[in-house]
Amino acid sequence: MKNGTRLPALLCCVLAAALALSAPLPARAEALEGTRLIGLLVTTRDIAPFTGGEGVLWAAKVPGSAGGSTEYAFWDAPSEISGGLRFFCFPGQDENGESGFISQADDGICKADFLFEDESSVKMDGTILYAPKKEEARFFCNPVLLAADGRAFAVPGDFLSVSAGTNPPGSSVALKVTDQRKHTEDGREITDVTEVSIAVEAVREPLRLALLQFNEAHELLMAQEYAPGTVPETIVPSAEAEYFLLETRERGADGANVTRREAFGRQDDWLNTLSCRKDGVCIWHYHEIVWPDKE
């Protein structure tokens, strides 16, 4: 793993190699009182050249896809970094007008977990699945902070490096960012803690998927092939099926094809598959299994 050296002093960064790095916040960011860490904007390009004189990249506050909830978008960012992955959790109101934390994770953030320890602390854990190429790829983990006036902005952060030569399938590199802030509420001193862990895990690129249904005598009943990303959201096996195999044909960075098989029986209610974007970032798709005669 390679790493950069730009991180705000208010953030304690602990890398997978247990190396702590820090750097001062941009002057404009330091002038904003009451800022708190709300997550990361993960990009494959360094955002520093695009932050301008203020040293920050501002986000727009927009209505969320759920209705009345809020999201932060970097729509005004240059095209080189506009496809960044957002992994946020911030205080706000949901679509019902109730106050609490609002979580926001783009599709490229797989295995996104949010643990709310109390009304002011949250731990976030996310994984990016990536099919590495021969050349090095860098994932810049840019801290995103929320100002007291409700505006959010990203500051240049450290990066994780992945390549086929150094990261075989199943291996990963990781980064953790922690922010602690104290404030007084109703005469009580409260410590707001935000901890964000992000990992990049190397996987093989899926090429083709097949669902193979078998009866109790292990006879093949049906075989259905799919391109990655086209498997139905709901899988309904035939009434005679006792189990089925999910067969995934994958290609490694060395060009060699590998076939992986997973078995699913009547005790299983869901499965997941992968599809890869052109940049190698994979999307995790969830599928419900509905057995016809299962109560």
What is d(CA 110, CA 283) in angstroms, rounded to the nearest whole number?
A: 7
44 and 125 together in one domain:
yes
149, 272: one domain: no
Q: Find, among 280, 24, 275, the residue nearest to 155 by Cα.
A: 24
Distances (CA, A) of 134 to 131, 137, 258, 274: 10, 9, 18, 21
Inform me whether the pLDDT recorded for 29 exceeds 50.
no
Q: Is residue 2 part of a domain?
A: no
pLDDT tens for 112-136 read 999 887 767 889 999 999 998 777 8
Q: What is the pTM of this model?
A: 0.79
Buried b (16+ CB within 10 A) or exposed e, 184-207: eeeeeeeebbbbbbbbbbbbbbbe
Supply the range of the domain harboring residue 222. 205-289
- The tokens describing 282, both together, are 């994979």
Radius of gyration over alpha carbons of the chain, in Å? 22
Residue where one domain finishes, among candidates 202, 233, 263: 202
- 226 and 194: one domain? no
Residue 4 within a domain: no
Q: Hey, how many other C-beta atoms are within 10 angstroms of the C-beta on 294?
A: 10
Beta strands 220-226 and 12-15, pairing class: unpaired
Q: Are residues 122 and 45 in the same domain?
A: yes
Total domain count for the chain? 2
Least confident segment among 82-96, 108-122, 189-203, 224-238 = 82-96
Q: Is the model's pLDDT at 165 over the cut of 60?
A: yes
Residue 234 lies in a domain: yes
SS3 239: coil
Same domain (yes/no): 259, 272: yes
202, 229, 262 - which closes a domain = 202
Domain shared by 177 and 63, yes or no: yes
* Domain match, 178 and 105 both: yes
